[in-house]
Structure 1
Amino acid sequence: MATTLSLATLDRLPEGIARPQYQREALSPGILHFGVGNFHRAHQVAYLDDLFNAGRGHDWAIVGAGVLEAERTGRQKLAAQDFLSTLVEQDAGHMSARVTGAMIDFVEPGDAQATIERLADPAIRIVSLTITEGGYFIDPASGRFDAAHPAIVADARDIAASRTVFGMIVAGLMRRRSAGIAPFTVMSCDNIPGNGHVTEDAVAGLASLVDPDLAQWVKENVAFPNAMVDRITPATSDREREILAREFGVTDAWPVFCEPFRQWVLEDRFSAGRPPLEEVGVTLVDDVAPWELMKIRMLNGGHAAIAYPAALMDIHFVHEAMEEPLIRGFLEKLEREEIIPVVPPVPDTKLEDYLALIERRFANPKIGDTIARLCQDGSNRQPKFILPSAADRLKAGGGVKGLSLVSALWCRYCTGTSDSGRTIEPNDASAERLKQAALQARQSPQAFLALSDIFGDMGNVPAFADAFSRNLNAVWEQGARGALKSYLAGKLRPALPEANKYP
């Protein structure tokens, strides 16, 4: 009989399950976090749990927050188990479980007044975010904060009744400024290039719509450190709950399964102090850009590279994709020939070693990461993870045969069926628009590249457009498997000589 997780049952959990070595009642809040999901609980919560276990930083416990209706379900599950989570780390030869207790409360999602009250509390000195790449109100065409977005305009009109994360942050900062309370740090933990800068643009941009003086105060007083975060963490399903109950004897409504590897590189810029994170393995730096660019282009770009051919070939798990020689070969050739050459040097890091690490992590047979997860939200991920590498390759005079093939495979995926005819469930906010453009692109590839909010100027760069068109035709004619074979054999038709230029 499995033991249901709660504070009352911690001492009754089966042996071998690590649990907090600190008293929960000794913790006090210091961080409010928007976007309580699996990655946050596998990453930031785990680091803080380690810190608390070491007897340090007990005034930096986490309070969860959110704005989406769907987040209510997660809060209910966590509240029923006193905001404890079971974290299971797995790879081919290792599986361990621990209970983390760094989160001590969770504001009811969507309750603006309660959330703003928390944000105005002087005890909250960091506000952290994992709200996904699509949650920052970025105008894809310009890459800047979209101040004209209807949700932002509505918040600016009535900031005290905000419905967005950034509206609540601005309202909280307004309260602190009026009361003479030092501002909190706003710390993004999302996979966005320059995530600190992007977050500052959103907060200051919304603040400027409310009060230009407030926006100036934000720019002068609020810290927005950039960060690189990394840990492969799939979604929780009944599969994970059943494994936890069977292997460890614990019933947890929302456990987190992840790989053993984790990384957090963080700029040491904070408005009102920080926990001593360097004591538990966080790398504090002056400039996170080299690590961030390496990770976004090599790991996140690598995920995109394997995701779409695997989906078209009806492969379910990521490790199964890595067992397919065509996909693994595509990943390695693409990384070595087109991605690594446009990744600047990273301190104390060999890019070849980092690639080998990525391949081992993707091939982890225990993690249960799914191809569907990697495929989601492509309209936000392609412009961040694939197209910048392509642009830099062309500017350097190189080719983009492999990178354009990734985009072509994504286009084919967006039509909604795999090569076998299996239906692919939509998993992008722009799914219907993408499908229509992708279907048109079978006859006219430029129809997909014309999605300027995604491709920007790249859709009109002859070298990229020509390579994309040729590759998309190959994918339709040969299927994903055949196109990968042709690519690895060097038989994909080369770009026209006059197209191989970057303006």
Structure 2
Amino acid sequence: MTCKLSLATLTDAAKTAEIPAYDRASLTAGIVHFGVGNFHRAHQAIYLDDLFNQGKDHDWAIIGAGMLPSDAAMREKLAAQDFLTTVVEQDNNKTAARVTGPMVDILPVGDSGAIVAKLSDPAIRIVSLTITEGGYFIDASGKFNPSHPAIAADGKNPSEPKTVFGLIVAGLKARKEKGIVPFTVMSCDNIPHNGAVTRNAVLGMAELSDPAFAVWIKANVAFPNAMVDRITPATGQREIDLLTDTFGIEDNWPVYCEEFKQWVLEDKFTAGRPALDKVGVTFVPDVTPYEHMKIRILNGGHAAIAYPAALMDIHFVHDAMEEPLIRAFLAKLENDEIIPIVPPVPNTSLKDYFALIEHRLLNPKIADTIPRLAQDGSNRQPKFILPSTLDNLRQGKDVVGLSLVSALWCRYFAGTTDSGKEIVFNDASADRLHAAALKAKDDPAAFLVFDDIFGEVSQSELFRKRFAHALKTLWEKGTRATLQLYLDGKLAV
């Protein structure tokens, strides 16, 4: 016997899952969130659910917002179940489901007027974002790109914005005109200095239509930096069926995730915040050390194993980590070239942190996939891999392993695995990367021409030499043999 998730069926869901200890009717919205995807519902929403379960801060519920077709699909599916979500937390020896309820609505998708009206509501004191790395209109150096067509269009027509940043600027302007304290803008995306990046995007957007208002935003609006972490795979029919079979709950879009989660957040808020410190959020004056640790070691590790695993026809992340060559490759790369250039983190052993990551990546219950890790490399490589490469080069250190990571990415974009299977790309820059990767088989420099991706790194003679040799070896000997040469210390020339 199964139950279709809704407020009316919570008692039935409670037979197999934890349900909210609070009355949903007691909640009022204090946050508008852009990007109601899996990560948000497994992370920020979970912390708020924990807080509400303690009977605290019921005026900080979430209202979702979005402008994309994918947002409309999410709204339709979640509205059918009263905006509840089943989150299944999985560790190697544990699987537990909980129904969460901190989201009370999702605004009509694409309705700029409705979204700006809600943003100007005094009850809304935080606007948060999980819009992915590619949603911030930034180049390889992290600078906002005001010439992007979508941004330029909003700059010319600020009263009818179509982008998240156009909407935020319009909402802030409406609050200023009404004499309402501005909301805090809080990014929850995996981007170095995500608060600063968001601030630059909002200021850059405002400067296109009203430079004086941009000055006001700079002086009056808080953009805290944050480090967020929880491995959260995409939801497919497998997860939907698994939830029904295991827990008897029919959820249109459940979320499966690991048990581990972390949120480190700068305590800089314009109009107050929920008491998230009561539920495990670490508030710090500067998030930079934690951010470097996570982005370089975890996200960099994800990017490092994605492409050799793909070229070796491995689908799941835990299977990749069980392949001795890939696990040893990751360990050597981390210990030789990534961890040594990560600045110290308060009360944290970086070696222990990496050991925790290995444990997390080996979790078979998560069923995280290599295609997920491999997607959007044109945005992820400049944020997760190439900064480590550049730091090593600036310190006069070798980059044999990190150059190999870039070469593996190039080899991947040639479009076939070592066994000849076709690779399906998921990257906004796939066409140009594919064309360049094919040319790079004979001329490795052809893949390094993208300044928006490689930036200063591509100017290094050492990197270009290491990259070219690694790519040549991959084509001549294959991924397995190349990894073994690296592990044996025989890849450098």
Give the TM-score category using the shorter length.
over 0.9
C-alpha deviation, 1:139, in angstroms: 2.5
Q: Which residue of 2 aligns with 1:40?
A: 40
Q: Which residue of 1 aligns with 2:373?
A: 374
DSSP 3-state at the match of 2:159: helix
Give yes or no for contact 2:142–2:197 (8 Å, CA) kept in 1: no
DSSP 3-state at the match of 1:417: coil
Q: Which residue of 1 aligns with 2:421?
A: 422
C-alpha deviation, 1:493, in angstroms: 3.1
DSSP 3-state at the match of 1:186: strand
Q: Which residue of 2 aligns with 1:68?
A: 68
Q: Which whole-Å CA distance do the structure 2 matches of 1:38 and 1:97 have between them?
A: 15
Give yes or no for contact 1:14–1:249 (8 Å, CA) kept in 2: no
C-alpha deviation, 1:294, in angstroms: 0.5
The answer as to 2:458 corresponding to 1:469 is no
Q: Which residue of 2 aligns with 1:498?
A: none
Runs of 4+ that moved beyond 4 A: none
Q: Which residue of 2 aligns with 1:501?
A: none
Give yes or no for contact 1:14–1:248 (8 Å, CA) kept in 2: no
The answer as to 2:131 corresponding to 1:127 is no
Q: Which whole-Å CA distance do the structure 1 matches of 2:52 and 2:90 have between them?
A: 23
| 1:48 counterpart letter in structure 2 | L
DSSP 3-state at the match of 1:99: strand
Q: 1:240-278 CA distances to partner (integer Å, 9 max, x unpaired)?
A: 111111111100010000000000000000000000000
TM-score (norm 2): 0.99
Q: Which residue of 2 aligns with 1:241?
A: 240
DSSP 3-state at the match of 2:185: strand
Q: Which whole-Å CA distance do the structure 2 matches of 1:478 and 1:161 have between them?
A: 55
Q: Which whole-Å CA distance do the structure 2 matches of 1:12 and 1:481 have between them?
A: 51
The answer as to 2:52 corresponding to 1:52 is yes
Q: Which whole-Å CA distance do the structure 1 matches of 2:469 and 2:453 have between them?
A: 20
C-alpha deviation, 1:14, in angstroms: 4.9
Q: Which whole-Å CA distance do the structure 2 matches of 1:81 and 1:159 have between them?
A: 35
Show structure 2 runs of 5+ residues with no match: none
- After TM superposition, the structure 1 stretch with the greater mean CA deviation from structure 2, 439-448 or 148-157, is 148-157
Give yes or no for contact 2:88–2:95 (8 Å, CA) kept in 1: yes
C-alpha deviation, 1:453, in angstroms: 1.3
Please list, as runs of the form range in 1=range in 2, the aligned pairs for 1:293-332 lying within 5 A after superposition: 293-332=292-331
DSSP 3-state at the match of 1:335: helix
DSSP 3-state at the match of 1:399: coil
Q: 1:298-345 CA distances to partner (integer Å, 9 max, x unpaired)?
A: 000000111000000010000000000000000000000000110000
Q: Which whole-Å CA distance do the structure 1 matches of 2:492 and 2:219 have between them?
A: 53
DSSP 3-state at the match of 1:472: helix
Q: Which residue of 1 aligns with 2:267?
A: 268
Give yes or no for contact 2:16–2:248 (8 Å, CA) kept in 1: no
Q: Which residue of 2 aligns with 1:156?
A: 155
Give yes or no for contact 1:387–1:455 (8 Å, CA) kept in 2: yes
Give yes or no for contact 1:191–1:229 (8 Å, CA) kept in 2: yes
Q: Which whole-Å CA distance do the structure 1 matches of 2:71 and 2:473 have between them?
A: 42
Give yes or no for contact 2:400–2:492 (8 Å, CA) kept in 1: no
Q: 1:335-394 CA distances to partner (integer Å, 9 max, x unpaired)?
A: 000001100000000000000000000000100100000000000111111111011111
Q: 1:189-209 CA distances to partner (integer Å, 9 max, x unpaired)?
A: 001111000000000111111
C-alpha deviation, 1:160, in angstroms: 1.8
Q: Which residue of 2 aligns with 1:138?
A: 138
Give yes or no for contact 1:34–1:64 (8 Å, CA) kept in 2: yes
DSSP 3-state at the match of 2:181: coil
| 1:281 counterpart letter in structure 2 | G
Q: 1:87-108 CA distances to partner (integer Å, 9 max, x unpaired)?
A: 0011211000000000000012
Q: Report how many aligned residue pairs link the two structures.
A: 493
| 2:13 counterpart letter in structure 1 | L
Q: Which residue of 1 aligns with 2:194?
A: 195
Q: Which residue of 2 aligns with 1:205?
A: 204
DSSP 3-state at the match of 2:105: strand
Q: Which whole-Å CA distance do the structure 2 matches of 1:266 and 1:70 have between them?
A: 28
Identity %: 64
